[in-house]
A and B are shown apart, each in its own frame.
Chain A
Amino acid sequence: MIVLLGAWLASLGLTAAVTVRVVRTRRTPAAPPVPPPVFPPVPQVLSPPPDVRDEVPAPVPPELRLHRDLQVRLGQSIVGQLRSTTDPLSANLLEIRSDLVDLAQKVRTHDQISAGQEDRDWLQGDAAAVKTDMAEAARLTRETTQSMATHIHALKKTLRTILEVNGEVADLSDRINVLSINASIEAARAGTSGRGFKVIASQVKSLALETSAFLAQVRTLLQGAQDLFDRVDRDLEGKGTAVETLLLKQDASFISLQDNYREQGVRFSQLCRTIEGFVGRLDLQVNRLSPLVQLHEVTVQELENLNQVFVHVLDQVLAPGDGSPPGEAQVHAWGTLVREHLTTAGELAVLDAVLAAWGCPPADEAPPRVGSLELF
């Protein structure tokens, strides 16, 4: 259609010159010369059909030529302006939808990674192994502590036994000492004959005293050892309890960590679903604009078509005739010509109504519903 318009406009340039000459002859010689109309060049894409070009008459009434030219150029201007809004709008909508698809994909991917098998494996695998090792360490610590406590108790019992024996030996030493004193007294009573016995009694006494001193020293050492064992025993019990408490605390921390991790995962997943829902709703809203933008574009195309129709009609009017109203055949021929430029059901319905008003029967076919889908 644009091709035809371009060609006709080219022919208009010649016709306009002819028109100017006609105008000049009608004016008085004193009147200033009327400048020829200047129109911006319109690119010609292809040659028009010869029959149409040949039908354009010359000379013709200048106001109709002007009307035709204005129709062509204003129509093109309006269509151009409308299209300059539709194209960026549709490009923006495409960009928004592409971004939404991209965003939804990224959110879905992150959600899948967050709740992925690897993480669950980590929780159930490595982390669970750490937990098991900690429990094993706690058990071993407990057993070791108990074993050491048992040994220490046994040592303390042995110490007590040794102390008892030490006490008995000390008692025995005391009795020997008493016996040596008695022996010394009896030796003195015996006089000269008991002198040798007195020496022995003295030595026995000395031995008994040394034994008592030695036993007292051993007792002191044993009591020191007993105190040391008591402290070790208390320390061991305290440390064992501390280690166990620590391990239990770590176990609780691990469980808390696991729970926290799971909770964070659930929250992240909820967030992802919220974002996905939002993106989906936004996508739906943007999708609802699609038919509107299509309608806008179709309307622009309709305007373009209508513009061409008007030009065709004007060309028909400009064609030479005998001044009588067009007959049914002529109207039908015009209608056929105009129909070639129309596509939408709305345009065709209007054409049929106009043709019917001029006495031509409408087309048989019922126009299909806009947006309908027919699968063959």
Chain B
Amino acid sequence: MKTILLVDDSTSIRNIVKGSLVREYLVLEADNGQAALDLVAKGTAVDLFLLDVNMPVMDGLTLLKHIKANPLFAKTPVLMLTTETKQERRQEAKTLGATGWILKPCDPETLLAALKNLL
């Protein structure tokens, strides 16, 4: 079973997204970018990252930068799952190496289809 690291400061969003994925994937959680970095620093294997953009402590774009700088995860797909609609943020994520951008609220089937396509 593939592992997905879901990073979002909203407990509700984490619960709902995890609920949609739990049938087919092992879902790990972190409530901000720094917590996610701490998790992968322990050697946790991750097959795909699912990141919110606006988060306290460390936002999703900064986390994306760290992920892509890590040789272990440089090629790991990263999907941004956010309410953020500003074009410049999306462009920044693309430049930093994000794989895709999904706007919340999203249909679980759309998300699952994207994950199946990437994993």
Contacts and interface: CB of A to CB of B under 8 A. Distances in A.
Interface in A318-376: 339, 343-345, 348, 365, 367-376
Interface of A: 83, 86-87, 89-91, 93-94, 96-98, 101, 104, 283, 286-287, 290-298, 301-302, 339, 343-345, 348, 365, 367-376
Contacts of B16: 90, 93-94, 290, 293-294, 297
Contact size class for B? 35 or more
A94 B18 contact: yes
Contact of B99 (A345, A369, A372, A376): A376
Given A290-B105, A371-B107, 19 more contacts: A94-B15, A97-B22, A287-B108, A287-B109, A290-B16, A290-B19, A291-B106, A293-B16, A298-B83, A302-B83, A343-B82, A343-B83, A343-B85, A343-B86, A345-B103, A371-B104, A373-B110, A373-B111, A375-B117
Nearest to B98: A376
B101 interface: yes
Contacts of A97: 19-20, 22-23
Given A97-B22, A98-B22, A374 B100 contact: yes
13 contacts: A87-B11, A90-B11, A90-B19, A97-B22, A101-B23, A291-B108, A293-B16, A297-B13, A298-B104, A373-B106, A373-B111, A373-B114, A376-B101
B3 interface: no
A297 B84 contact: no
A347 to B, nearest CB: 9
B107 A365 contact: no
Q: Considering the complex of A and B, which 6 residue pairs feature the smallest CB-CB distances, nearest first?
A: A294-B105, A90-B15, A90-B12, A97-B19, A375-B100, A94-B15
